Structure 1
Amino acid sequence: MAQLKLSLFSNNFPDFFIIDHTGLVDIAKIETEQDRRDATFAWTGPSLNFGTTGMLVRAVAPPGFCLRIATFDDFRIHSKFFTGIIDPQVKAEVIEESTFVLQAAEIDPNQASFRSVKFPDRFIRHRNFELFAEPVVTPAELQSACFRMTNPLHPSEF
């Protein structure tokens, strides 16, 4: 599994990074060292080139958590511990709901959007500073699904 480390910040709120807040994933300002840790991810795809498919997983402790579309919570993005799932069917479902295509953002093709593989009409986007997987059509929705990749905010251990 490739370990391409990165942090992602909102295109329209450049001071707000994607942060795993212990189960729920939001965009927020980096205020503490823990925030830096919680905003550092690994992309499991073969590269950070547009068109690659992969998962966003925590790059710092605790390991084994990925960003998952929680269909049971209105398609909210949750972090989910997936490496310890024993049931192969459940694990496959979690991985499927956590796999995205990295693509050029429609509103700014120099930046990134993450389109769901399982739900191809849905993109990771922020709404009210919370992350969801939703269809994006209007300019405001397209903007909220546009993220800028940057160097990881924390040196990762994995």
Structure 2
Amino acid sequence: MAVLKLSLFSNNLPDFFIIDRDGVVDIAKIETEEDRRDATFQWTGPSLATFGGTGMLVRAVAPPGFCLHIATFDDFRIESKFFTGITDPQVKAQVIKESTFVFQAAEIDPNQASFRSVAFPDRFIRHRDFTLFAEPVTTPSELQSACFRIAPPLHPEEF
């Protein structure tokens, strides 16, 4: 199976990419080479060619083993979580479930993507005040903030 590397930028703020800066995941402008690395992810799902698959968004460059995770203890904030080092099978299964998303057509723009939580099916990855959350989306503004465009990976490095 091919590695599906990508970067994601906001549909309504096209200069702003999802970026993992030391565990804090936001949308931001790419200003440095480190930003390019931190805005490159791997989709673990089956395909980016068709909607409907489930998978995780995992850092595609070092350090390995981190995924985008819904931090229920932090108001459903999206954070980066080191999941590969979890040794308790029940905890690991819960973290993976809270880090798995359905890749689907965005309601506001069906040619673009939204990521709906598997663990919390009424919540989507969306940005609010340049911060990522998993939240329900209903208004046009919320739907727009849950819409992302897939871009080629900003950084080509492999582990």
Place the TM-score, normalised by the shorter chain, in its bin: over 0.9
CA RMSD, Structure 1 to Structure 2 (Å)? 0.9
Q: Write the distance in 1 (CA, Å) between the matches of 2:75 and 2:146.
A: 17
The answer to whether the 8 A contact 1:40-1:156 is kept is: no
Give, in angstroms, the shift of residue 2 of structure 1: 5.3
AA in 2 matched with 1:55: M
AA in 2 matched with 1:54: G
5+ residue gaps in structure 2? Answer: none
Structure 1 residues 127 and 54: alpha-carbon distance in aligned structure 2, compared to 1, 3 A threshold = same
Q: Work out the number of aligned pairs and report it.
A: 158
Map of 1:11 onto structure 2: 11
Map of 2:30 onto structure 1: 30
Give, in angstroms, the shift of residue 50 of structure 1: 0.5
Matching of residues 127-138 of structure 1 within 5 Å: 127-138=128-139
Matched, 1:57 2:70: no
The answer to whether the 8 A contact 1:2-1:45 is kept is: no
Q: Write the distance in 1 (CA, Å) between the matches of 2:113 and 2:98.
A: 19
The answer to whether the 8 A contact 1:2-1:43 is kept is: no
AA in 2 matched with 1:38: D
Matched, 1:93 2:101: no
TM normalised by structure 2 equals 0.98
Structure 1 residues 2 and 82: alpha-carbon distance in aligned structure 2, compared to 1, 3 A threshold = farther
Q: Write the distance in 2 (CA, Å) between the matches of 1:41 and 1:156.
A: 11
Q: Write the distance in 2 (CA, Å) between the matches of 1:52 and 1:141.
A: 23
> Is the partner of 1:136 in helix, strand or coil?
coil
Map of 2:151 onto structure 1: 150
Map of 2:111 onto structure 1: 110
AA in 1 matched with 2:9: F
> Is the partner of 2:5 in helix, strand or coil?
strand
Q: Write the distance in 2 (CA, Å) between the matches of 1:6 and 1:120.
A: 24
TM normalised by structure 1 equals 0.98
Moved over 3 A (4+): none
Structure 1 residues 87 and 2: alpha-carbon distance in aligned structure 2, compared to 1, 3 A threshold = farther
> Is the partner of 1:131 in helix, strand or coil?
strand
Q: Write the distance in 2 (CA, Å) between the matches of 1:43 and 1:67.
A: 11
Q: Write the distance in 2 (CA, Å) between the matches of 1:66 and 1:2.
A: 18
AA in 2 matched with 1:27: I
Matching of residues 76-91 of structure 1 within 5 Å: 76-91=77-92
